[in-house]
Structure 1
Amino acid sequence: LTGKKRLPGFSGEWKKTTIGNIAKEISIRNKNRKNYPVISCTKTKGFVDSLSFFNKKVYSDDLSGYKIISRNQIGFPSNHIEEGSIGLQNLHDDAIVSPIYTVFSMGKNADPLFVFAVLKTDHYRQIFAAATNSSVDRRGSLRWSAFSQIKINLPSPPEQKAIAAVLTTADEEITAIESDLARLRQEKKALMQQLLTGKIRVAV
């Protein structure tokens, strides 16, 4: 994500630009009160379905002021981004988020997954914290006007997509390993239950 290690077949300098040059803010309200799923952004998991994640309703009854966020758009709660709460919307074709969220979409020369991965690093969390602390917004929020001025280094679009593909494969492998681990833990729990009650005896 920094260009210190390159994938085979790619060379050339990465170009430094601002987020505002590769993305645009999207602020479309749910004025028609459509029944879009409500999502929230967490520090570790990114976007989650609000109702199922929190096991209760934590959003307003009136959703007309909520913002629509489409697939592959990025969003963050403007008053929590310094904690690392930023997400790539890959749960639904369209969903809605609280009005406090900033939502933006990438231009044709910026891969959403690559840019999201960069912005999710601890380096950028520190940048967000510094930008929030220096913001004129007294509520401690990072608005698009300041967020869009943050610098980012970008390789060519093909290299971005290649890096994004590597990250996707790694995530899929992690998910598979976590699934195996959960299964093994369940098997261990069941075996312990059998052994500790004498239902299964150990051969000596």
Structure 2
Amino acid sequence: MTGNSSTYLGELFRSSRKKGEEGLPLLSVTLNDGLIVRDLLDRRTETNLEANEHLLVKSGDIAYNMMRVWQGALGRASVDGLVSPAYVVLRSNSKIDSLYAEYLFKTPRMIYLFWAYSYGLTKDRLRLYFNDFARIPVTIPNLEEQKKIAQLLSTWDKAITTTAQLLANSKQQKKSLMQQLLTGKKRLLDKNGVRFEGRWRKLPFSDLVSLVKTKFDPKSNADDVRECIELEHIAQESSSLIGSTNTIDVVSTKTAFEKNDVLFGKLRPYLRKYWKADRQGVCSTEIWVFRTKAKVAADYIFQVVQLDSFIEVANKSSGTHMPRADWNVVKDFLIPTPPLEEQQKIAALLSAADQEITTLQQNLDALKQEKKALMQQLLTGKRRVMVN
């Protein structure tokens, strides 16, 4: 293991402007997933360009978007393909491993340098041309150590990809389970091990819950200090809190909620912000507070408000760009409703699925954080790897 050497990116890469060839897939650079086949994008942009009007990118090449590379818009090709002529295609020489380079280019230091060497009067006009890219200084280890570092980081990426797929599968399984259990298509076993029977009733949502409108007045409750939950404190889709504040306005318009109430974000319902309260507190007027009525399980209602059909009704209630759910519409939404014991059984099973999803999400977040820390050490030379 020897010391790192200083050089310039132009000594490690050349710009390839070779024209594209028929029959190759179109590739696009993304901020989060690197260079991927365009057909896999959720929002595909069509092109009228012929194949030979695109640039050819070979497996192992790195392509970057001149206008957004300072935001991290670059990626390494895993297959031969075609990219936009507005991209820069980098072909590495024998001094650098392109997989190592892809990791290096994602570090904060390199992202900063991409910005510093870009030209433009405003951010939306910044461009990093190859001639300026080539002037960027860089310090790298020898080729063998580069490959070892890339191999280590690739192992973390595989673990991240595997965990992310498990998480996606768990979410899809829970969604399918909701459609079966919350509609009565699939019946569970009661405490005696006998399958539940009897027809479910379809009841208006307002027959199951009350919309809490009680305002919390801090002046007359000076000794009752409660957490305040704003819409941004509820994590999207994960059914959890990511913050709160103890500050309450002197003249409060906050809604008071109690333990086991169900909170639902009525502003832009499509964001899917919901939380079953595990304590008392107050919340923003942009959040509905549902309190279950007799013989209705709060855990069951918490699962009901996550249904696609409920979200769809809430989202269409009022407004377009910034829709706010309308209680006069939502209250009449018909909910398939079994007896209390079956509600509790259903909710318990779906809650277990939620816990599995939460655990996988925590594992995924931890892996990403650990990889980030490892990159910071390995790609800056603070930590070296042994090479045989």
When the two structures are superposed, what TM-score results if normalisation uses the length of structure 2? 0.45
Q: Give the unaligned 5+ runs of structure 2.
A: 192-340, 342-388
Separation of aligned partners in 1, 2:183 and 2:40: 36
Q: Does 1:156 align with 2:146?
A: no
The aligned length equals 188
Match of 1:26 in 2: 16
Separation (CA, whole Å) in 1 of partners of 2:87 and 2:10: 17
The structure-2 alpha-carbon separation of the partners of 1:179 and 1:77, relative to structure 1 and needing over 3 Å to count, comes to same
Cα distance change of structure 1 residues 185 and 124 upon mapping to structure 2, 3 Å threshold: same
RCO higher in structure (CA 8 A, sep ≥6): 1
Partner residue in 2 for 1:128: 114
Cα deviation, 1:32-58, whole Å, max 9, x if unaligned, reads: x52221111011111111133145452
2-structure distance, mates of 1:109, 1:13: 15
Q: Which runs of 4+ in 1 moved over 6 A?
A: none
Following superposition, the deviation at residue 28 of structure 1 comes to 0.5
Q: Distance in 2 between matches of 1:22 and 1:202?
A: 68
Q: Measure the CA separation in 1 of the matches of 2:72 and 2:137.
A: 17
CA 1:54/1:159 → structure 2, altered by over 3 Å: closer, same or farther? same
CA contact (8 A) 2:27 2:37 kept: yes
1:180 aligned partner: 166
Contact persistence 2:67–2:125 (CA under 8 A):
yes
Offset of residue 176 of structure 1 = 1.1
State the secondary structure of the residue aligned to 2:7. Answer: strand
TM-score (norm 1): 0.82
Q: Deviations over 1:90-111 (max 9, x none)?
A: 1x2x211111111111111211
Determine the structure 1 residue equivalent to 2:151: 165
User: After superposition, what is the alpha-carbon deviation per residue over 1:58-79, rounded to whole angstroms, capped at 9, x for unaligned?
Assistant: 2223332211010000111212
Unmatched runs of 5 consecutive residues or more in structure 1 = 1-10
For residues 191 and 35 of structure 1, what CA distance do their matches in structure 2 show?
41
Rg larger for: 2
Q: Find the counterpart in structure 1 of residue 81 from structure 2.
A: 95
Show the counterpart of 2:6.
Answer: 16
**Cα RMSD over matched residues?**
2.3
Quick one: structure 1 residues 59 and 12, their matched pair in 2 at CA, closer, same or farther if it must change by over 3 Å?
same
Aligned-residue sequence identity (percent) comes to: 26
Measured in 1, the distance between the counterparts of 2:135 and 2:37 equals 30
Q: Is the 8 A contact 1:194 1:200 kept in 2?
A: no
Report SS of the residue matched to 2:57.
strand
